[in-house]
Homo-oligomer: A and B are copies of this chain.
Amino acid sequence: MKKFMNTAETMVAESVEGFVRAHEAFVVFGPERKCIRRRHLTLGKVALISGGGAGHEPMHIGFVGHGMLDAACVGHIFTSPTPSQIITAIEEADTGAGCLLVVKNYDGDLMNFEMAIEMAGDHHSLDMVVVSDDIETSRTGEGRGRRGVAGTLIVEKILGAAAERGMPLAELKQLGEGLNTRIRSMGVALNGGTVPQTERMTFALGPDEMEMGVGIHGEPGHARQPFTTSDAIIGHLCETIAGDIAAAPGTKALLFVNGLGGTPPAELYLSYNSARRFIEEKAIPVERSLVGTYVTSLDMQGLSVTLALLTDEEIVLWDAPVATAALHWGGIP
């Protein structure tokens, strides 16, 4: 295993420290480094908080900043942060209007966030939005439903903009839940990621194999298939995600191609080109686009395609200025 690290034990802490130092202009550690928050909070705005396991960088810490998250917590690799971390984030970020917690749909994350809400709920107005955009797990028709993956970025961006405009907690939750029903993602891996602690790949693929329907924790997908052209791969992903949400009249598509960690920008843009063609062939107008490495699974080679069907109001919120480490736009003439 070749990774830029010193020890497996300190890897997450060192990486997060590097993040905070690189972006010290606008982020700071919370007490005992239990969370990361904006350097300057806005009084009276609902605080948007998220968190999850390490190994998905830049998510979520890369989304802390104006127009998006107020604070984020990082757990061990692929492991939810603890309630104590989440409570610290709540205490740090709540400026009076309460906090909305954005949680990806995994039992571990859900239970830790739920406990944090129970334990801190007496002193803060708190609520939670659960993101479950991954197509794959809807297939099994069981469990707590679909996993939360790259679509989480879209929920956090749009809710972040709405919170910035003063939307109250209950409305934010409603906005997030509505949005979640109109986002679908699906991933493909050309190679597993390597977990530093075990020095093992989450799964190993042959030189001509790929894994279809992977999540972001190295879970195997629904099928191992022979590797093929990007048109065939992306075509299948688009077919599946577009088939799973009905394009309501008037909604506009945001198309998001996300790298899983080890895939270079040129391949992501090429894949976006395929995806754009396939989605438009379905008469779904692509009005907004995002291409890049935002929601990763360590160094996994692969990508996910996310389709979000947005209302006009949500498009406006998507376009609103954002100034985080990973997403930054707007505000320039």
Contact = CB atoms under 8 A, between A and B. Distances in A.
A256 B265 CA distance: 18
12 contacts: A4-B230, A14-B274, A15-B267, A18-B270, A18-B273, A21-B272, A22-B291, A62-B265, A67-B332, A262-B263, A264-B293, A266-B298
Task: For the complex of A and B, list the 4 residue pairs with the smallest distance between their C-beta atoms, beginning with the closest.
Answer: A18-B273, A18-B269, A261-B264, A331-B332
Contacts of A269: 15-16, 18-19, 22, 57
A271 B2 CA distance: 13
Interface in A262-305: 262-274, 276, 289-291, 293, 296, 298-299, 301, 303
Contacts of A66: 332
A329 interface: yes
A265 B55 CA distance: 9
A207 interface: yes
A222 interface: no
B266 A15 contact: yes
Contacts of A227: 2
A55 B270 CA distance: 12
Given A12-B266, A15-B270, 14 more contacts: A2-B301, A4-B190, A4-B263, A5-B230, A14-B273, A14-B274, A21-B276, A57-B269, A262-B262, A262-B263, A264-B298, A321-B332, A323-B329, A323-B332
Interface of A: 1-7, 11-12, 14-19, 21-23, 54-55, 57-58, 62, 66-67, 190-191, 207-208, 210, 227, 229-231, 233-234, 261-274, 276, 289-291, 293, 296, 298-299, 301, 303, 321-323, 328-333
Count the copies.
2
A4 B62 contact: no
Contact of A273 (B21, B262, B323): B21
A139 to B, nearest CB: 24
A321 B22 CA distance: 18
B210 A2 contact: yes
A213 B262 CA distance: 21
